Amino acid sequence: MERILAFGCHPDDVEFMAAGALILLAERGYEIHIATMTGGELGTPDKPAEEIRRIRLGEAAQAAGLIGARAHYAGGHDLEVDYNHEYRRKATRILREVDPLIVLTCPPMDYLPDHEMTSLLVRNAAYIASVPRYDCGAPPPPTRRFPYLYYWNASHLTDIFGRRLPVHFGIDVGSAMPRKLEMLACHASQRDWLAFHNGMDAYLDTMKDWTRQQGRQIGREYGECFIQHRGGGHPHDNILKTIFGERCVDLETGKDCT
């Protein structure tokens, strides 16, 4: 079966922004892979980096396991994600390991530069993973093709100027919400951290609220909105629209994607 790769910056990014779509894709038989650029080393007020990384990657693996997905760690560190050779290799290794049909990642405009750098690195990796002579310092052979590439919505659903992102379409994820909540609940260490640092004492409610707001955008109860990368090389037809049919609402035409 074809593989789907959701590649976020932190261990819980995917659960917040795209887990609903992944749950629905897993139900349709796709092989799901979830990758994190960093180990979430700084998502704690007091624990040593190795300890919190172990805890957070364990939580990510548990969440992925709920939908039979495989978890990957690219090897990066919090607040160090940079568009450089080391991180390009890390991102490309994941792309080559999975060789996906579809890649989902952070949007180019988001609240944290680590997210934005991850977006750029994954975008670039999705392009260069198929370049035979590019050496990523590890065995996986080049990928066979350019994958479909999509960006999920920004955290808090706005860019740093407070504007909504120009999302192309949304997927109705209503039936996936119970499991999406279960997946996010696996990240127990982050509920305490975000209450401490960001004043987000309602971790699960925040995710529910963002998913509900995106649902409102597409006229459904819950939704996840995406932007398709339409640059050169990558396929431009919307394969998620083909897969999801009437669950997919096109925000450029205002019609169901069918």
Residues that bind Zn ion (CB under 5 A): 9-10, 13
Q: Which is nearer to Zn ion, 31 or 82 (CB)?
A: 82
Q: How far is the CB of 8 from Zn ion (least distance, A)?
A: 7
Q: Which is nearer to Zn ion, 30 or 193 (CB)?
A: 193
Q: What is the DSSP letter of 30?
A: P
Task: Taking each helix axis as running N to C, give the angle between helix 177-185 and helix 203-217, from 0 to 180 degrees, rounded to the nearest 10.
Answer: 150
Q: Which is nearer to Zn ion, 158 or 175 (CB)?
A: 158
C-alpha atoms less than 13 angstroms from C-alpha of 133 in its C-beta half-sphere: 0
Report the residue number whose CB is nearest to Zn ion: 10
Q: How far is the CB of 9 from Zn ion (least distance, A)?
A: 5
Q: How far is the CB of 232 from Zn ion (least distance, A)?
A: 29
| Cα dihedral 69, 73, 79, 83 sign | negative
Q: How far is the CB of 83 from Zn ion (least distance, A)?
A: 17
Q: Which is nearer to Zn ion, 9 or 35 (CB)?
A: 9
Contact 37, 121 (CB under 8 A): yes
Give me the helices (H) in the chain, please: 13-17, 19-27, 49-65, 85-98, 113-128, 177-185, 188-197, 203-217, 239-244
Q: Which is nearer to Zn ion, 9 or 52 (CB)?
A: 9
Backbone angles phi, psi at 213, to 5 degrees: -60, -40
Q: How far is the CB of 152 from Zn ion (least distance, A)?
A: 11
